[in-house]
Structure 1
Amino acid sequence: AAVSGPLFGGLPLDLAAAGKADARAELAASGHSAAALLATLEGTVAFGARGGILNGYDLGAVQAASALPDLSEAEAALRRALEGGGATEFERLEGTARFADGRATLGEASVSTEGGAVASATGSVDVGRGGALDLRVATRPVAEAPEIGLLLAGPAADPRRQPELAPFLRWRAEQ
């Protein structure tokens, strides 16, 4: 299927457009209301997309900021890139999610760009109880460097965006 607008409408990470998207799902739920169905959701989903845009994370800006020669400028630019959201034009996005008791846990989720940059995502979304997020997006701009992370935690409509920079900045300072 082709995606031509925000798929999840308002989530902090959202597939805005994709040349081609596909998904496989094996799900079960029970109940008489949407809330009951979401709270009892069980099963697995595998998803993938090619040639699209991921809103909420600017992998290119994170990569560019990490390469700035001045460490204090790099830190400020990394914070802006991670806290500001932005978008990533990707070549491939793929992953899996396992649902249990209304909670989706990501497994092997990643996004890659045509230039070779890769970010991975781990964590969970409590779809059955209001959509609380506990996600981490991370990239490693230099093979031997520690990851640069972004934690997304709290209500899906307005999560805290907390950059994880200390290990990377410490590594940069030692170089």
Structure 2
Amino acid sequence: MDTVLRLMLLRHAKSDWGDPSLDDFDRPLNPRGLKAADMMAGYLSETCPPPDLILCSTALRTRETLAELLPFLTVDTDIQLRGELYEDSELDYLSLLQNLDTSAETVLVIGHNPAIEETAALFYGSGLVEGYDDMAEKYPTGALAIFTFPHRSWSDLGEGSGTLERFVKPRDLEDDPEL
């Protein structure tokens, strides 16, 4: 059977704009963002296979989002802080993903908009139509899209090659008694 690759695209949780002297790179999560990141971490641990590889932007708000996930990781996971996820946040992450030199089958990317949203839109080829419509309308902070690809290698990823399995926003989990 062919390998199925799984890609999880997580936009960082809500950041704090309260200190105008901070550079964009140095903005932390606000209290609502910390709560959302914790809820998404719980959701991931309860419903998804653990990632083999996490690629996280070096910006403070993405690293704080990652920190909320760490207690939920149940396996050894390769975690890479990648500056290009912040620097290329106005683009998409296709090239970065196609150039991954890894045998990881499940990759979690914690990044920024518009690149997270653009990447998700670019990969969508089939799957959850309601999720795609929801995602296309708005990809809010803390939201997660999960794609699968019937490929053996990350270099095979391309436009329209993914199947959207789920699109989940923090507010979707607020009323979920399981989390």
Give the structure-2-normalised TM-score: 0.26
Larger Rg: 1
Say which structure is richer in strand: 1
Say which structure is richer in helix: 2
1 or 2 for the larger relative contact order (CA 8 Å, sep ≥6)?
A: 2
